[in-house]
Amino acid sequence: MPNLLHIDCSIRPAESVTRQLTALFAECWRTENPGGDHTYRDLGRSPIPHIDEASVMAALLPPHERTEAQRQAWTRSEPLITELRAADTIVIGVPMYNYSIPSTLKAWLDRVTIAEHMVDDSRTKSGVLEGKHVLVVTARGGAYGPGTPRAEYDFQEPYLRAALGQIGLATHLHLVHAEMTLAYSIPHLSQFSNIADASRSAAEDHVRRLATARS
């Protein structure tokens, strides 16, 4: 049965562009996959604890060798790992915060990036999570495309390609960006609202196409 893992991490509950775009993807996906499972995880409203030593050790040890603290720590990582493994399609909404990703998403990545998931670079060149289709939808207050003054400040896309790639989630990875979103809320940027509108509209079209193409 098709299984969608849908993750948001914007701190904005209502006006969030990434939440609206991931919701659009999920809506199209559900229409195309009426019997499919849709798992939703909201890291913005319900942040998960940052990684700690007990969590790292728990991931390396068999269950019967874990201390009580490590068993407790594992209860915070295991549901995330189970959700990730069960999904064949993953959509992640990622606001740009300080040129990179929200710390709540970093906490999720730290918990699902375990030894068992790492791509074996030396021998098989593959990993157990490979084959999943991943869509990352970002929203940025400014613009970071090629040729823009801030192009080199985009630490979001290169980071996500590397971090998802090391656990085998970049073989079918698409990134879609909605840019200049601050044109709607900062008066002196309102002159760029036509760029924001065009970027948002292109992102919506792309998201719809990807949701349909996956079915």
Ligand X SMILES: Cc1cc2nc3c(=O)[nH]c(=O)nc-3n(C[C@H](O)[C@H](O)[C@H](O)COP(=O)(O)O)c2cc1C
Residues of the shown chain interacting with ligand X in the complex, contacts defined by CB under 6 A? 10, 12, 16-19, 95-99, 139-142, 181-182
Please answer whether residues 128 and 116 qualify as being in contact, where contact means their C-beta atoms are separated by less than 8 angstroms: yes
Q: Which is nearer to ligand X, 11 or 86 (CB)?
A: 11
Cα separation, 21 vs 93, in Å, equals: 8
Token pair 């995880």 is found at 41
Which helix H or strand E contains 120, and what residues bound it? none
User: Least distance from C-beta 83 to ligand X, angstroms?
Assistant: 21
User: Least distance from C-beta 10 to ligand X, angstroms?
Assistant: 4
How far is C-alpha 127 from the chain's CA centre?
18
Q: Which is nearer to ligand X, 16 or 33 (CB)?
A: 16
Which helix H or strand E contains 8, and what residues bound it? strand 3-8
Which helix H or strand E contains 67, and what residues bound it? none
Q: Which is nearer to ligand X, 85 or 159 (CB)?
A: 159
Q: Which is nearer to ligand X, 59 or 92 (CB)?
A: 92
Q: Mapping DSSP to helix (H, G, I), strand (E, B) and coil, where does residue 83 land?
A: helix
Q: Mapping DSSP to helix (H, G, I), strand (E, B) and coil, where does residue 181 land?
A: helix
User: Least distance from C-beta 87 to ligand X, angstroms?
Assistant: 21
User: Least distance from C-beta 203 to ligand X, angstroms?
Assistant: 11
User: Least distance from C-beta 121 to ligand X, angstroms?
Assistant: 31
Q: Which is nearer to ligand X, 70 or 156 (CB)?
A: 156
How far is C-alpha 32 from the chain's CA centre?
21
Q: Which is nearer to ligand X, 151 or 213 (CB)?
A: 151
- The DSSP secondary-structure symbol of 163 reads H
User: Least distance from C-beta 183 to ligand X, angstroms?
Assistant: 10
Please answer whether residues 5 and 41 qualify as being in contact, where contact means their C-beta atoms are separated by less than 8 angstroms: yes
